[in-house]
A and B are shown apart, each in its own frame.
Chain A
Amino acid sequence: QQQVKQSPQSLIVQKGGIPIINCAYENTAFDYFPWYQQFPGKGPALLIAIRPDVSEKKEGRFTISFNKSAKQFSLHIMDSQPGDSATYFCAAQETSGSRLTFGEGTQLTVNP
């Protein structure tokens, strides 16, 4: 119930491509869904976050799509750049809780 399943485990795209990372959850009490970007040797940095009352949120080249009925959400990176090469973690949190439940991560490589 507490799991967040993330796919794919790794992803390679060409510069300018649109990588898509998918996450699914079971716990309907989750109501906050952040995405973190992590470069090697660094801490995770918040990229973008969404709540279930909206179906899409855009910040710059990053878009979250959210499907509440399917309990799925995804990250799209428009016009991807080599500098976007990093590990991306989706996460989920309950309003009443303090635990972030992370997905297993996706290692993204954007080739020049």
Chain B
Amino acid sequence: DTEVTQTPKHLVMGMTNKKSLKCEQHMGHRAMYWYKQKAKKPPELMFVYSYEKLSINESVPSRFSPECPNSSLLNLHLHALQPEDSALYLCASSHGGTGLNGETQYFGPGTRLLVL
């Protein structure tokens, strides 16, 4: 099973709201990722967690706050977002650890976020 699940599928929020995106995998993967994807563009890496520790933050604004409660779960907390943050947010996982040795990243279906 190579499934990564994400909830919710769609989310509409105002600029003053606080919301969270959730991601779950049960493949025993130890690396998990958040990506942002705009229409007709490739995914852009936001954060990487390796063994439940944040290993990469691609200079993402603090209004995005990641959390990895355990090895199977990844959250992305959203606060005071801007309309330009509207995008498809993708979670991915791979076997992981530092030095991924080309391990395949498996993507979830994404959360379509609209910020009004």
Residues of A within 8 A of B (CB): 31-32, 34, 36, 41-46, 49, 51, 87, 89, 93, 95-100, 102-105, 107
Contact = CB atoms under 8 A, between A and B. Distances in A.
Interface of B: 4, 6, 31, 33, 40-43, 45, 48, 50, 55-56, 88, 90, 92, 94, 98-102, 104-110, 112
Contacts of A41: 88, 110, 112
A44 B90 contact: yes
A72 to B, nearest CB: 18
Contacts, number: 62
Contact of A98 (B42, B56, B90, B107): B56
A102 B55 contact: no
B90 A31 contact: no
5 contacts: A31-B102, A46-B104, A102-B42, A103-B42, A105-B40
Given A44-B90, A46-B105, A97-B100, 9 more contacts: A36-B107, A42-B109, A43-B109, A95-B102, A98-B55, A99-B45, A99-B56, A100-B45, A104-B42
B104 A49 contact: yes
A102 to B, nearest CB: 3
Contact of A45 (B41, B55, B107, B112): B107
B108 A43 contact: yes
A51 to B, nearest CB: 7
B8 to A, nearest CB: 14
B105 A100 contact: yes
